[in-house]
Structure 1
Amino acid sequence: MTEVPITEAIQVCQAALEKAGGYPPSDAEIITQHLVDAECRGSPMAGLARALSIIDHLQKSPGPTKSSKDIETTSEGPTSVKLNGCNVVGYLVAHRATELAIEKAKASGMAIVGANDFWYSGNLAYFAEMATKHDMISVIFSNCSPMVAPEGAVEGRFGTNPMCIGFPTSLKDRPVIWDIGTSNIMHAQIMRAQRLGISLPEGAAYTKDGQPTTDPATAIDGAMTVWGGHKGSGLAVMIQLLGMAAGSSARPEGLSGFGYLVMMFDPAVLRPIDEVKQEADEYAEWLRSAKPLDGGPPVRMPFDGSYERRKTAVERGTIRIPTVLMEQLRKRGAT
C-alpha cells in the first residue's frame, strides 16, 4: 500500500482519464471527484481502481470516447426529464440526471428523472449527497446487466441493482444516506480483486457451471449471489423493472444499456424544512444513544461511517492506495 496525498490522487486519476480515456478535462474531473470521494469514504471497490476499468472498457470499444456532450434529453416536463445516455459512462449520465432532478425539485417541489443507455454509474450515495446539500430527499435506483443469481438459482437474472435513499440534516456534510447493492458483492469488487490478484469472499459468487468460487476470473463468467435471501432477491427484481421504466431493457446485454431512476422532493412542501432537519438530527442522536450489545461498537446512523472516514482522510490529507494501482494509473496518465 502507498500513502498518497489526496491532491496527487486527483491529479493522477484525472490525467489517466484524459490521456488514456480520452475524456475532456471537465468530464475527467467529474469522474475523478466521484472516485476519490469513494476512496476517502472507505469504499475502495468503487474508488480509483474503477478508473482503470473505465479506461480498459473504452480502449476495447470502437470509435472515440463518448462525453457528456453526447447525452441527449429526449423528453421534458415541469417535473420530469428523460435522458438518453448514448453509451456515455454512467458517472456523467447520473450526475447530469441528478443535477436536473435538483433543478426541477427546487422549482416544482418534486421531480422524477430517468436515464438509459449508459454503463458504470458508481456510488449512488454520491448522487444522493448532491441532493441533500440542497435540502432535498431522494430515492435512487439503478439496474444493469443480468450478473446476479436470484435466491435459489446459480445463473444471473438481474444486476447488482443498488438503491439509495438520502435525507438532509442540519449538517450539510453529514446527511442520512442509505446506499445498498442487492448483491453480496459488487461488480467493481470482482474487477478490483482480479486486478490486485486477491480472492473474493466465500459465498459471493458462482462459476458459469454453478459452482461456488472465490476466484474473480471465474466469477466474471458466472454469477454473483444475491443479498438478503428471498427478500433481497425480490427487491433486486423490482429495481430491475424500475430501471426498465427509466428506459433500459429489462435484460441489458453486456456492459451497456443500464438504467437510472431518481425521484426527488423538497420536504418543505409538506413541512417547514428547519423542522424536518431538526427532527432528523434529534432522531439520529436518539438512535445513536441506543445501548449496544455487550462489547459491541456504538450504534450508528446510515452514512456515519462514511462521514467519519472521509473526515479523517481529509484532515490527514492522504488516502492509502495499493502500490500497483497507483503505478498503473500513473502509467496511463503518461501515455
Structure 2
Amino acid sequence: MTTLSLSEARTLVTAVMTRAGHSPADAGIIADHLLDCELRGLTFGGLARALSIVERIRATPAPPRPMRVVAETPVSATVDAGDQVGYLAGMRAVELAMDKARAHGIAVVGARNTWYTGMFSYYLEKAADAGFAGMIAGSGPAVVAPHGGTEGRFGTNPIAFGFPAEPSPVIWDIGTSAVMHGEVVLKARLGEKLDPGQAYDSGGLPTLDPQAALAGALGVWGGHKGSGLALVVQLLGMMTGADAAPPGISDCGFFVLLVDPGSLTDAAGYRRRVTEYAASIRATRPVTGGDPVRVPFDRSVARRAETLRRGAIDVPGTVVATLRREAGHAG
C-alpha cells in the first residue's frame, strides 16, 4: 500500500481527470466524490475508480456532449447527460431537484446517457443537509443475474434513501448485487479473488475469478426479495428514458425524488423527530456479546472523521503508480 496525504490524493485525481479532458471545475467535482469514498473506506469507489473513468473515455471514440434538459415541468426534469460521467450528471440532477423542491415542495429529476454515478449517499447527504428527504435509484447495464438465474438482466442497481437529522443525516444506501461492479474491477486489477456465491462465469458456473465474473454475471443480493428490489430499481431508472439493457458501460438511469418535509409538516420538528428516533435505535439493547446498534450512515460518518483526523489514506501501490503515469508524473 502507498500512503497519500489527503491533499496529495486530491491533487493526483484532479490532475488525472484534467488530463483525461475534464475542465478544472469538473475534475474537482469528480475528485471530491472519489476522495469521499476513500475517506469512508469504500476503496473500490475511490481513487481506483479514476482509472476506470480514464479507460472508459479512451474506449469511446465520440467525445461527450454538453448536458441538456430535454423535458421539464415546475416539479420535474429529464437531463440528457450527453455520455458524460455520472459524477457530473448526478450533481446536475440533484442540484436541479433541490432547486425545484425548494420552490415547490417536491421534485423528481431523471438523468440518462451517463455512466459511473458513484455513491448515492454522497448526493443524498448534500440534499439532507439542505433539509430535504429523498430517494435515488439507478439502473445500468445487464450484469447481474436475477434470483435463480445465471445471466445478467439487471444493473448493480443501487438505491438509497436520505433523511435530515442531527448531527448527520440518516442515509440507507445499498447495491442490489451480491458484489458491486467496482469491487470486481478492483479485485481484477489487484489479482484478488471474489467470495463464494458472488458471481458466475459465461457458462453459468459459480466463479471466484473476477475476470470470469466480468465476462459472465454477478449474483443478486437478498435472494428473491433482493431480486424483486433490483427489478424495481431497473424500472425506475428506465423512467428517465434509459435503455433496459444498454451496451457496455453506458446509459445508466439516475432517478431522483426529493421532498421538502415543510410541505407536509413542520420541517424543524421533523428533523428533530428523526434525530430522536435515530437515537432511540442506537440505544437499543444489543444481542449478547454484540456491538452497539448503529443507524445507517453511522459507520461512514465515523470512518470519515477518523480518516480526516489521520490526514492520509492508504491506496494500493499499483493504483497509485498508474494514476501517477496518467497524470504525467515521473516515477
In the superposition, the TM-score normalised over structure 1's length comes to 0.96
- Output the CA distance in 2 between the equivalents of 1:60 and 1:249: 20
CA-to-partner distance for each residue in 1:238-273, whole Å, 9 max, x for gaps?
111111111101222211111111000100111111
Structure 1 position 295, deviation (Å): 1.4
Q: Determine helix, strand or coil for the equivalent of 2:195.
A: coil
Amino acid at match of 1:141: A
2:123 counterpart residue number: 127
1:152 aligned to which of 148, 166, 182: 148
State the alpha-carbon separation in 2 of the partners of residues 150 and 273 from structure 1: 40
Alignment-mate amino acid for residue 245 of structure 2: R
1:35-75 deviations in Å (ceiling 9; x for gaps) = 000010111111111000000111121144x26xx111101
Please point out which of 263, 278, 284 is paired with 1:290: 284
The whole-number CA distance in structure 2 between the counterparts of 1:271 and 1:106 is 15
Structure 2's unaligned 5+ residue stretches are none
SS at match of 2:145: coil
Q: Is 2:216 aligned against 1:222?
A: yes
- Inter-partner Cα distance in structure 1 for 2:223 and 2:248: 25
* Secondary structure, counterpart of 2:84 in structure 1: strand
Over aligned residue pairs, what C-alpha RMSD do you find?
Answer: 1.0
**Counterpart AA for 2:59:** K
Any residues of structure 2 matched to 1:248-263 within 5 Å, and which? 248-263=242-257
Stretches of 4+ aligned residues off by more than 6 angstroms = none
**Partner Cα distance (2:269, 2:57) in 1:** 47
Letter in 2 for 1:302: P
Q: Which stretch of structure 1 is more off in the superposition, 78-87 or 220-229? A: 78-87
* In structure 1, C-alpha distance between the alignment counterparts of 2:106 and 2:179, rounded to whole Å: 33
| Mapping of residues 45-64 of structure 1, within 5 Å | 45-64=44-63
Deviation for aligned residue 1:328? 1.0
1:231 aligns with 2:233: no
Matched residue of 1:149: which SS? Answer: coil
Partner of 2:163: 167
- The whole-number CA distance in structure 2 between the counterparts of 1:271 and 1:239 is 28
Within the alignment, does 1:110 sit opposite 2:106 as a pair?
A: yes
Q: Which runs of structure 2 are paired with 1:133-144 in the superposition (5 Å)?
A: 133-144=129-140
Paired residue for 1:81? Answer: 77
1-structure distance, mates of 2:248, 2:185? 15
Q: Distance in 1 between matches of 2:179 and 2:308?
A: 27
Query: Tell me, which stretches of 5 or more residues in structure 1 are unaligned?
Result: none
1:32 to partner: Cα distance = 0.7
- Residue 22 of structure 1 and its aligned partner are, at CA, apart by 1.2
Q: Distance in 2 between matches of 1:125 and 1:36?
A: 14
State the one-letter code of the partner of 2:117. S
Q: 1:305 aligns with which of 275, 299, 302?
A: 299
Amino acid at match of 1:37: D
1: distance between equivalents of 2:139 and 2:156? 7
**Aligned equivalent of 1:316, options 310, 318, 323:** 310
How big is each residue's C-alpha offset from its partner over 1:299-318, in whole Å with a ceiling of 9 and x where there is no partner?
A: 00000000000011111111
Task: State the one-letter code of the partner of 1:245.
Answer: M
Q: CA separation in 2, counterparts of 1:277 and 1:257?
A: 35
Aligned pair count? Answer: 329
**Offset of residue 166 of structure 1:** 0.5
Task: State the one-letter code of the partner of 1:135.
Answer: G
**Normalised TM-score (structure 2):** 0.97
State the match for 1:2 in structure 2.
Answer: 2
